[in-house]
């Protein structure tokens, strides 16, 4: 922590400051209004330092989000109560969407093209979700309350996809009632072992 009055930072110290500035700007003004100049000013850095590292706003944002993801690790232990576990994951997704990650996703979507090199940011955000839901499903199958055939990408991704769809088209994370509806009318009926839970 050689900070206090940083005469001039470099390397990772500077990089982290830029990431933090980026995430704060994202939260405050959103992706569409994110200005490289504002990020630079907020990080007390020169624009050149940004462009030296990332060729575009999209790259910067992606790096910042990925950095944040690496920072806050989020272990998830399934309890065996599948519905409750899924609800927890969905709440976690909603919490993400309210912060800089949500804005990043929105920006990513806005700039996406069929030809776009995309993939990366989406994967960064999708992968941990898939991991969590897969664990939940596996626990449910082990407990005999979930149909083994439910463990398929389409169904594992279903709840997260519907959360994302809501967020993207409404501008805010799905409220509790929507979470309940998704679980009770769509997801659980598809995956639950008939005659149980």
Tell me: does residue 188 bind a copy of itself (CB under 8 A): no
Q: Name the residue among 17, 2, 1 with its Cα closest to residue 49.
A: 17
- In three-state secondary structure terms, 192 is strand
Min dist. Cβ of residue 118 to a copy of itself (A):
6
Phi first, then psi, for residue 122 (nearest 5°) are -60, -45
Token readout for 134 is: 């897969």
196 contact choice in a copy of itself, DNA, none (CB below 5 to 8 Å, kind-dependent) = none
Min dist. Cβ of residue 82 to DNA (A):
45
Q: Name the residue among 4, 9, 10, 42 with its Cα closest to residue 23.
A: 42
Distance CA 4, CA 171 (A): 38
Applying CB under 7 A, which residues contact DNA? 2, 6-11, 14, 34-37, 44-49, 51-52, 55-57
Distance CA 50, CA 66 (A): 16
Min dist. Cβ of residue 128 to a copy of itself (A):
15
Distance CA 159, CA 89 (A): 9
Tell me: does residue 89 bind a copy of itself (CB under 8 A): no
Tell me: does residue 170 bind a copy of itself (CB under 8 A): yes
The residue whose two tokens read 């072992």 is: 193
- At what angle are helices 158-170 and 82-98 packed, to 10 degrees? 30
Tell me: does residue 1 bind a copy of itself (CB under 8 A): no
Q: CB–CB of 166/178 below 8 Å?
A: yes
Min dist. Cβ of residue 23 to DNA (A):
16
Tell me: does residue 95 bind a copy of itself (CB under 8 A): no
112 versus 145: smaller Cβ distance to a copy of itself: 112
Considering only 155, 192, 193, 197, the residue that binds a copy of itself (CB under 8 A) is 155
The residue whose two tokens read 């169904």 is: 155
Min dist. Cβ of residue 122 to a copy of itself (A):
6
Tell me: does residue 80 bind a copy of itself (CB under 8 A): no
Question: Where along the sequence are the contacts to a copy of itself (CB under 8 A)?
Answer: 30-32, 106-107, 109-116, 118, 122, 152, 154-155, 158, 161-162, 164-165, 168-172, 181-182, 185-186, 189-190
């Amino acid at each position: 922590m050689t900070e206090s009055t940083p005469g001039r930072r470099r390397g990772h110290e500077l990089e982290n400051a830029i990431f933090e500035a980026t995430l704060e700007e994202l939260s405050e003004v959103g992706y569409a209004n994110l200005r490289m100049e504002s990020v630079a000013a907020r990080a007390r850095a020169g624009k050149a330092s940004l462009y030296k590292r990332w060729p575009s706003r999209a790259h910067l944002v992606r790096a910042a989000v990925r950095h944040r993801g690496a920072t806050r690790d989020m272990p998830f232990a399934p309890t065996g109560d599948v519905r409750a576990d899924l609800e927890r994951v969905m709440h976690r997704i909603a919490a993400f969407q309210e912060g800089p990650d949500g804005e990043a996703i929105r920006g990513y979507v806005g700039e996406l093209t069929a030809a776009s090199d995309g993939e990366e940011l989406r994967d960064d955000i999708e992968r941990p979700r898939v991991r969590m839901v897969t664990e939940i499903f596996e626990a449910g199958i082990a407990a005999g309350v979930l149909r083994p055939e439910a463990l398929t990408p389409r169904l594992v991704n279903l709840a997260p996809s519907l959360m994302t769809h809501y967020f993207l088209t409404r501008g805010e994370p799905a409220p509790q009632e929507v979470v309940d509806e998704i679980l009770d009318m769509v997801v659980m009926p598809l995956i639950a072992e008939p005659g149980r839970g």
